[in-house]
């Protein structure tokens, strides 16, 4: 009974540890995740995680070291912003004028979709009308010409 | 109906044009440093000659902190003689010029120092700690640090005689 309890306790501790590790990820994973949020200063549109440049390598080392020293991801993000400005963040922070960058794509998608739906509906309505209504009276000149040409073709 | 359409088209184009006008007017290479006007991050460097230099040691003196690399051609090569000349001119008035060589090989860096006969202290930044602390994103970049330890001005790109003189005089 006692050994069973002990085994249960060990299993509980182990699974709790495993769970917390799975949530936080390894130090390397955390480093890469944070580095992926930072813009590589010497590259064109590459994150610090993706760039093979020396500067990005050094930045990854700084992130790794700071995580090792127990700094939180927020503290590390703030450190880079304090040195490079918000420019260093690949995704703009959700505040003030930056909301434009976050919301505009959705506004464009919804607005564009709305315009497309309206246009399709209108053209369908027009199409129906076109089928129901007889086309306007034809020019008698063309009718006679058509008759003549048809006769010629039949011969 | 047609005028309504034209008007709505115009109304949707105008904000876009304004946004583009604003965007095209800004210089994409210019990244404003949040450090200007703030306390300079502390640094401790071991120079190529084995001596040590730290910002704490230099408190009370205007410091010209120049980040360079031997592979940075031509900007670093163009500004090098001006840096040495500024050091010669202002060292007696208490101004310190310090060169930080980043992302470089020591042998190449030493050849660069010999080529321009640098007499002011120069040292490497082995793990890039100092350059990242200063938010450096390219070379050359130069920080003018006042007597009180705040960053007076940051210059991106090669320095010339005029800028060096003007900024140093402002700090004196």
CATH number at residue A62: 1.10.8.640
Q: Do B31 and A85 make contact, defined as CB atoms within 8 angstroms?
A: yes
For B29-57, what is the mean pLDDT?
A: 91
ipTM metric: 0.85
Using an 8 Å CB-CB cutoff, list chain B residues near A85.
31-34, 135
Domain co-membership, A51 together with A104? no
Residue with the larger pLDDT of the pair A5 and B15: B15
In a domain, A124, yes or no: yes
User: Residues of A numbered 34-63 whose beta carbons fall under 8 angstroms of chain B's beta carbons: which are they?
Assistant: 41-42, 54-55, 58-59, 61-62
Q: How many CB pairs under 8 A join A and B?
A: 46
HEC sequence for A20-56:
HHHHHCCHHHHHHHHHCCEECCCCCCCECCCCCCHHH
The per-residue pLDDT for A145 is 87
pTM: 0.74
Nearest CA of chain A to the CA of B92: how many Å?
32
The per-residue pLDDT for A5 is 56
In a domain, A121, yes or no: yes
| Domains observed in chain B | 44-171 (3.40.30.10)
In a domain, A140, yes or no: no
Domain co-membership, A87 together with A38? yes
Domain co-membership, A58 together with A108? no
The predicted-structure confidence for B143-165, as pLDDT tens digits, reads as follows: 999 999 999 999 999 999 999 99
In a domain, A61, yes or no: yes
User: Which residue of chain A has the CA closest to B127?
Assistant: A58
In a domain, A136, yes or no: no
Long-range contacts of B148-151 (CB under 8 A, 24+ apart): B149/B39, B149/B40, B149/B55, B149/B59, B150/B37, B150/B38, B150/B39, B150/B40, B151/B33, B151/B35, B151/B36, B151/B37, B151/B38, B151/B39, B151/B40
Domain co-membership, A98 together with A125? yes
Domain co-membership, A86 together with A97? no
The per-residue pLDDT for A29 is 93
The per-residue pLDDT for A131 is 55
In a domain, A6, yes or no: no
Domain co-membership, A72 together with A113? no
Rounded to whole angstroms, the maximal C-alpha distance in chain A is: 111
Q: Do B128 and A81 make contact, defined as CB atoms within 8 angstroms?
A: no
The predicted-structure confidence for B125-136, as pLDDT tens digits, reads as follows: 989 999 999 999
The per-residue pLDDT for A22 is 47
Domain co-membership, A76 together with A122? no
Q: Which residue range forms the structural domain that includes residue A117?
A: 93-129
Q: Which of B6-15, B39-48, B89-98, B117-126 has the lowest mean pLDDT?
A: B6-15
Q: Provide the 3-class DSSP secondary structure of residue B10.
A: helix
The per-residue pLDDT for B125 is 95
For chain A, the domain total comes to 2
- Assess A104–B contact: CB distance below 8 Å, yes or no: no
Q: Do B127 and A58 make contact, defined as CB atoms within 8 angstroms?
A: yes
* Burial class for A42, CB neighbours closer than 10 Å (0-12, 13-18, 19+): middle
Q: Do B33 and A85 make contact, defined as CB atoms within 8 angstroms?
A: yes
Using an 8 Å CB-CB cutoff, list chain B residues near A59.
128, 132
Domain co-membership, A84 together with A98? no
In a domain, A83, yes or no: yes
Contact B64, B120 (CB under 8 A): no
How many C-beta atoms surround the C-beta of residue A66 within 10 A? Answer: 18
The per-residue pLDDT for A94 is 85
The predicted-structure confidence for B64-115, as pLDDT tens digits, reads as follows: 999 999 999 999 999 999 999 999 999 999 999 999 999 999 999 999 999 9
- Assess A89–B contact: CB distance below 8 Å, yes or no: no
Domain co-membership, A44 together with A73? yes
Residue B32: band (very low, low, confident or very high) from pLDDT cuts 50, 70, 90: confident
Domain co-membership, A121 together with A75? no
Domain co-membership, A73 together with A32? yes
By a Cβ cutoff of 8 Å, what residues of chain B touch chain A? 31-35, 41, 103, 127-129, 131-138
Domain co-membership, A40 together with A80? yes
In a domain, A73, yes or no: yes
Q: Do A55 and B34 make contact, defined as CB atoms within 8 angstroms?
A: no
Q: Which of A38, A41, A59 to mutate to test the interface with B (most CBs of B within 10 A)?
A: A41
Q: Is the pLDDT of residue B118 over 60?
A: yes
Instruction: Give rounded-to-5 percent helix, strand, coil for chain A.
Output: 75, 5, 25
Which residues of chain A carry a pLDDT beneath 70?
Answer: 1-24, 129-137
């Amino acid at each position: 009974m006692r050994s069973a309890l002990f085994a249960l306790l060990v299993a509980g501790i182990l699974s709790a540890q495993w769970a917390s590790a799975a949530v936080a990820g390894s130090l390397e994973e955390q480093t890469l995740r944070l580095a992926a949020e930072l813009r590589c200063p010497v590259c064109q549109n590459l994150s610090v995680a993706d760039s093979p440049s020396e500067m990005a390598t050094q930045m990854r080392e700084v992130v790794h070291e700071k995580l090792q020293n127990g700094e939180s991801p927020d503290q590390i993000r703030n450190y880079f912003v304090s040195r490079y400005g918000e420019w260093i963040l690949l995704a703009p922070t959700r505040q003030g004028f930056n909301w434009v960058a976050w919301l505009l794509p959705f506004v464009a998608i919804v607005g564009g979709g709305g315009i497309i739906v309206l246009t399709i509906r209108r053209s369908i309505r027009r199409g129906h009308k076109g089928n129901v209504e007889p086309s306007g009276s034809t020019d008698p000149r063309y009718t006679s010409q058509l008759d003549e040409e048809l006769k010629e073709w039949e011969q | 109906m047609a005028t309504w359409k034209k008007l709505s088209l115009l109304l949707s184009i105008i904000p876009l044009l304004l946004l583009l006008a604003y965007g095209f007017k800004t210089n994409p290479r210019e990244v404003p440093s949040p450090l200007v006007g703030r306390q300079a991050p502390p640094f401790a460097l071991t120079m190529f000659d084995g001596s040590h230099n730290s910002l704490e040691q230099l408190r009370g003196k205007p410091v010209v902190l120049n980040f360079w690399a031997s592979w940075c051609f031509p900007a670093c090569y163009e500004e090098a003689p001006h840096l040495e000349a500024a050091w010669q001119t202002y060292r007696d008035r208490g101004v310190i010029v310090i060169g930080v060589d980043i992302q470089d090989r020591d042998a190449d860096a030493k050849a660069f120092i010999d080529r321009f006969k640098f007499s002011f202290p120069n040292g490497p930044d082995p793990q890039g700690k100092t350059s990242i602390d200063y938010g450096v994103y390219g070379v050359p970049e130069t920080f003018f640090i006042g007597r009180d330890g705040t960053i007076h001005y940051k210059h991106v790109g090669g320095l010339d005689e005029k800028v060096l003189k003007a900024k140093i005089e402002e700090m004196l």
